[in-house]
Chain A
C-alpha cells in the first residue's frame, strides 16, 4: 500500500535531481528547467500532505495553485532575461555571464 512516505521520497528524489541540474549545468535554459523540476517536486509534497494529513481541508492544493502562478511568472521573466542576454552577448552559457561577478 502506498503511503505518505512514498510520495515524500519521490518528491525528495525529484527535488535532488533538480538541485543537481541547477548547480551543475552551464546552459541557462537547462538551469531554468531544473528549477521547474524543483517546483514540481515541492508541489507533489504539498498535495501529498494535503491528501494524507488533512484530507478535508485542501489547503495544500490551494498553496500548489499559488506556486503554479509564481512558477508561470518566473518562467516568463526568466526566459525573457535569457533571450535578452542571448541577443546582447550571443551566448547563454552561465559560466560566461559574469558581468556582476568579482
Chain B
C-alpha cells in the first residue's frame, strides 16, 4: 500500500519534472527540474527495492552530472536566448506520441512471466558478488575504467586552449 502511494507520487512528480525540462523557456530552470527528475528516479529505485542503485543515482546523477550540466550552462551564455524549438517541433511530437503508443500497446499485450518471489534485500552484497565474483561481470568492470579514462582524456583535449 505504502509502496503504491509512493510510486504514484514519484511518477507524477517525475513526469511533471521531465515535461518541465523540455517545455520551460529558461535553460537554468530546465536544468533544475532535470535534477528533480533524477531525484524522483532515485525514489523509484527505492520502491523497486534497489537500494544500492538509489544511492548511486543520487551520487552520480544528482551530485555529479547535474553539476556538470549547470557548469556548462554557465560557461555558454545561452541563458538569455532561452530554449527555443526548431522547425521539427510538430513532427517530433508526432514521432514521440507514436513511439509511446507503440511501446505501451506492445507491453500491455505481452504476457510477462512475473515471478512472485520477494526481492533480495539488501542488494549491495549480491551486486558486489556479481560484479567482482567468479563467472560474473569482471571483464566489463575492467573495461569500464578504460572507457572513463578515454572520456577524461577526450574531454581535456577538447576543451584545452590552443
Contact = CB atoms under 8 A, between A and B. Distances in A.
A53 B112 contact: yes
Most chain A CB within 10 A, of B50, B87, B147, B150, is at B50
Interface string B90-101: 011101110110
Contacts of B38: 40
B119 interface: yes
B27 A71 contact: no
Contacts of A12: 100, 103-104, 107
B14 A55 contact: no
Looking at chain B, what size class is its interface with the partner chain? 35 or more
B127 A62 contact: yes
A49 to B, nearest CB: 9
Contacts of A69: 144, 147-148
A92 B158 CA distance: 15
Interface of A: 1-10, 12-21, 23-27, 29-30, 32-34, 36-37, 40, 43-44, 47-48, 50-56, 58-59, 61-62, 64-66, 68-77, 79-84, 86, 91-95
B76 A33 contact: no
A33 B68 contact: no
13 contacts: A5-B108, A12-B107, A16-B97, A33-B30, A51-B49, A53-B115, A58-B130, A61-B50, A64-B53, A68-B61, A69-B147, A73-B150, A75-B65
Those 4 A-B pairs whose CB atoms lie nearest each other, nearest first: A73-B151, A23-B92, A21-B22, A24-B92
The B interface is mostly helix, strand or loop, or mixed, namely: helix
B69 A32 contact: yes
A18 B14 CA distance: 12
Contacts of A66: 137, 140, 144
A82 B72 contact: yes
Contacts of A95: 86-87
B27 A24 contact: no
Contacts of A37: 18, 21, 34, 37
Contacts of A86: 75-76
Most chain B CB within 10 A, of A26, A44, A83, A91, is at A26
